[in-house]
Amino acid sequence: MTYSIQGREGPWEVVVGMEVHAQVISNSKLFSGAATKFGAPPNSQVSLVDAAFPGMLPVINRECVAQAVRTGLGLAAEIHLWSRFDRKNYFYADLPAGYQISQYAHPIVGSGSLAIELPDGTTKEIGITRLHLEQDAGKSLHDQHPSKSYIDLNRAGVPLMEIVSEPDIRSPDEAGAYLRKLRTILRYLGTCDGNMEEGSLRADVNVSVRRPGEPLRTRCEVKNVNSVRFVMQAVEAEAKRQVQIWEEGGTVEQETRLFDPGRGVTRSMRSKEEAHDYRYFPDPDLVPLVLEKSWIDSLSAELPELPDAKKTRFMTEYGLALYESSLLVAESGTADYFESLAKNRRPKTVANFMLGDLSAALNRMGESFSSATLFTVAASAALLDMIEDGTINGRIAKDVIEEMERSGEGPRAVVERLGLRQVTDTGAIETAVAEVLARESSKVAEYKAGKEKLFGFFVGQVMKAMAGKGNPALVNEVLKKKLS
């Protein structure tokens, strides 16, 4: 079951650790009062602190600290009541001060863990090494001018949490599962929106390979991978590259690489080639960050139920299977939708409906459970209740959903307008059955000769004759009687 890369001389194990940069949800920046909204006009969300003007000084945003603490708690991690900000010194066009304020020696959050689910239904703990707060850099645009790069400092100073995992990940699937799970937890906590397209969540993937049982070999860091799929592809591509180098008698150099999704390979970042010496030292503009235990406790008390706890509860409280539960808790909006709908309804039916026809419809509309505009909880409730009280049958429900998408009407309006109420009049059913049996006399003979699986065929024909509106139970009952 363990993933390995088959080399010429046997299998290679893949060892992966991840550093994820998650943008903290906050109104203003980590050390300045400028806004953090995505997509603002260039340099419109920049304070003179962000632009590192002479004499400008950082003042920390309490909410960003709270968000880091919440995230730490959500990762079952140790919260450090004493932490400190250090400067990481390097020159870059979009790093205005010539240093990034980060937490190097004393991060706010220490070790924790996160459980990922493997395809075989088992779970695996991935260790979290640390989480620290730091500033984002600005943005350079290299494609706007033939000989110039443009600098936009809107992102400069935006709060980030850098979440570092232990090298516990052993396959592309595990890497993907880790990132998905981390994103789920961050979204549950409301500490990061997890939007990878907008750069709110970026992964640096550290990959090395070794023969089973060996100590760790040199790792390479694949920087700024911006989707779960690319993370999985990058792990595989980079591991294969390293296996090939080792097997050819070469040596893997420790370096920073980039994943090229178009070609499915990683390549060296030449611009980062120069040996870095970041000269970390405590930022003298900031004194140590000292937190009250009581504050941590109050943040802990306000923490929402997290996906793993919710999943277990869904299984015990609603009697759902592990698989259904996992799918329903993947987004807190989906879980909330389920719980609203499952009130006074059969949880199993609700789960099936949500994960089946409803998910398909939302997909087609490009919506999610939390953003649903047409298939609101109320609309779904009406639909489920019509099935339950026999107004429509399950098959018709599918048609109702499609018609709702077309017309934008509510479910009851669609059923009324198209006359989709199911037929429970035994006389009408008996007429339809008689017609079908008369038409298919040869099949009736075969059935009576013992080919019993033709029963389904007769049901289908009767439902077709009744435009799908026959009450399935009654149709079965009448057919059984007439065929015996």
Residues that bind Zn ion (CB under 5 A): 162
For the CB of residue 134, give the shortest distance to Mg ion in the complex, in Å.
9
HSE value, Cβ hemisphere, 13 Å, CA-based, for 442:
0
Q: Does 171 bind another protein (CB under 8 A)?
A: no
For the CB of residue 229, give the shortest distance to another protein in the complex, in Å.
23
Site for Mg ion in 16-45 (CB under 5 A): 19
Q: Does 187 bind another protein (CB under 8 A)?
A: no
| Burial (CB count <10 Å: 0-12, 13-18, 19+), residue 276 | exposed
For the CB of residue 222, give the shortest distance to Mg ion in the complex, in Å.
12
| Structure-token pair, residue 336 | 């909330």
For the CB of residue 175, give the shortest distance to Zn ion in the complex, in Å.
19
Contact residues for 328 (Cβ-Cβ < 8 A; gap 6+): 311, 314, 320, 334, 335, 338, 351, 354, 355
Residues paired with residue 123 on neighbouring β-strands, in sequence order: 117
Binding range to another protein, per CB under 8 A, among 15-23, 53-61, 348-356, 462-470: 53-61
Q: Does 134 bind another protein (CB under 8 A)?
A: no
DSSP string, 158-214: -EEEEEEE-S-B-SHHHHHHHHHHHHHHHHHHTS----TTTTSEEEEEEEEEE-TTP
Binding range to Mg ion, per CB under 5 A, among 14-22, 119-127, 142-150, 433-441: 14-22
Contact between 96 and 153 (Cβ < 8 Å): yes
Closer CB to Mg ion, residue 19 or residue 78? 19
| Structure-token pair, residue 16 | 């992966």
Q: Does 440 bind Mg ion (CB under 5 A)?
A: no
Site for another protein in 13-42 (CB under 8 A): 26-28, 32-35, 41-42
Query: CA 125, CA 308: separation in Å to the nearest integer?
Result: 12
Q: Does 149 bind another protein (CB under 8 A)?
A: yes
| Structure-token pair, residue 196 | 């990878």
| Burial (CB count <10 Å: 0-12, 13-18, 19+), residue 261 | middle
In this structure, the strands spanning 256-260 and 220-225 are parallel
Contact residues for 342 (Cβ-Cβ < 8 A; gap 6+): 318, 350, 351
Q: Does 133 bind another protein (CB under 8 A)?
A: no
For the CB of residue 102, give the shortest distance to Zn ion in the complex, in Å.
6
Binding range to another protein, per CB under 8 A, among 83-91, 113-121, 188-196, 350-358: 83-91
Closer CB to Zn ion, residue 129 or residue 325? 129
Closer CB to another protein, residue 101 or residue 362? 101
Contact between 445 and 458 (Cβ < 8 Å): no
Q: Does 141 bind another protein (CB under 8 A)?
A: yes
Closer CB to another protein, residue 35 or residue 374? 35
Binding range to another protein, per CB under 8 A, among 61-69, 115-123, 201-209, 311-319: 61-69
Closer CB to another protein, residue 133 or residue 436? 133
CA distances from 453 to 449, 450, 457, 462, 474 (A): 11, 9, 8, 16, 19
| Structure-token pair, residue 328 | 């329903």
Question: How many residues make contact with another protein (CB under 8 A)?
Answer: 68
- Select from 5, 38, 89, 245 the one that contacts another protein (CB under 8 A): 89
Instruction: Tell how far CA 210 is from the center of its chain.
Output: 30
The three-state (H, E, C) secondary structure of 222-241, written as one string: EEEECCHHHHHHHHHHHHHH
Q: Which amino acid is at 359?
A: S
Q: Does 293 bind another protein (CB under 8 A)?
A: no
When CB distances are held under 5 to 8 angstroms depending on the partner's kind, the choice from Zn ion, Mg ion, another protein, none that residue 293 binds is none
Q: Does 173 bind Mg ion (CB under 5 A)?
A: no
For the CB of residue 161, give the shortest distance to another protein in the complex, in Å.
15
Q: Does 148 bind another protein (CB under 8 A)?
A: yes
Q: Does 193 bind Mg ion (CB under 5 A)?
A: no
Q: Which residues here bind Mg ion, judged by CB under 5 A?
A: 19
Q: Which residues here bind another protein, judged by CB under 8 A?
A: 26-28, 32-35, 41-65, 84, 87, 89, 91, 93, 96-99, 140-142, 144-153, 269, 271, 277, 279-282, 284-290
